[in-house]
Chain A
Amino acid sequence: MGVLRVLSHHGDDRIVWDRSAAEQGDLDAQAAIREAERIFAEQRMRGATAVKVAPDRPAERIERFDPAAEEIVMIPRVVGG
């Protein structure tokens, strides 16, 4: 299972997908991955930073959507205060 989280004023908005089901041809799972990819691209266009996180591993910045990722966090654009 993978999850894409977008930090927002809602706390975080998330979309979950099942990669193994998608690989086995499950249409809903494939649609979930496509939707996650679309949100990823949309957030990147707005200046968000995408970070792949996994237990006991340092966070890793990514530029492209990775359906194999366990968890991706999208951080909205930041500025110097």
Chain B
Amino acid sequence: MLYMANIVAGSIITVILLMLLLKFVGLFADTPFFRTRVWPQLRLHPWWPAPAERTAETLLRHLLGQEQYLTLCMNGYLDVPSPSIPGRIYRIPRGPGQVQVIEHNELRERLCVQPASNGLPDADVVLMHKLLIESDERAYLLTANHFPRAIWY
């Protein structure tokens, strides 16, 4: 009887310790460093368990080119120059967040544009913003919800 009680107590303690360990790992895994630099590199490997993320990451690297892709991995964002407005760049974050509109090094506003349906991998979302801005900036700006500096809180 005492033996069984020890096993049960040991199991409960093991589960609690595992949960604490997972929570600890989760805290690090969600930091910007991991989200922008570590996970993208790992996603490119054939053993990555989520094929959609691997495919999207590979496509992003293919379409950006090596230099731009490395810059994105280092900075955690992608700067896309405006095709029509000199001095303006669109700063696309990797992962959650709004696109920043920067003019002559000054943040002007933030834009929110997202796919109508959920489930697009992060890398595809970065690509989506870049291609839409480059190919039809006007339509992109008309679709976006604009958050000018005056209403930030």
Binding site for B on A (CB under 8 A): 5, 7-12, 47, 49, 51, 53, 55, 58-61, 73, 75-81
1/0 per residue, CB under 8 A from A, across B63-87: the answer is: 1010000000000000000010000
**What CA separation (Å) do A60 and B117 show in the bound complex?**
23
Residues from 44 to 60 in B contacting A, C-beta threshold 8 Å: 51-56, 58-59
Cross-chain pairs A/B with CB under 8 angstroms, 14 sampled: A5-B59, A11-B56, A12-B59, A12-B124, A55-B65, A58-B83, A60-B135, A61-B135, A75-B128, A76-B120, A77-B117, A78-B113, A79-B113, A81-B113
Contacts of A75 in B (CB 8 A): 128, 131-132
Contacts of A61 in B (CB 8 A): 135-136
- Answer whether residue B30 sits at the interface, using C-beta atoms and an 8 A cutoff: no
- Answer whether residue B13 sits at the interface, using C-beta atoms and an 8 A cutoff: no
Binding site for A on B (CB under 8 A): 51-56, 58-59, 63, 65, 83, 98, 112-121, 124, 127-128, 130-132, 134-136, 139, 143-145
Q: How many residue pairs between the two chains, A and B, have CB atoms under 8 Å in the bound complex?
A: 91
**What CA separation (Å) do A11 and B135 show in the bound complex?**
21
Indicate if the CB atoms of A59 and B134 lie closer than 8 Å: yes
Indicate if the CB atoms of B52 and A80 lie closer than 8 Å: no
Indicate if the CB atoms of B113 and A11 lie closer than 8 Å: no
**What CA separation (Å) do A75 and B118 show in the bound complex?**
13
Indicate if the CB atoms of A78 and B55 lie closer than 8 Å: no
User: Known contacts A11-B121, A11-B124: does B145 contact A80 (CB below 8 Å)?
Assistant: yes
Contact of A47 among B56, B59, B116, B131 (CB under 8 A): B116
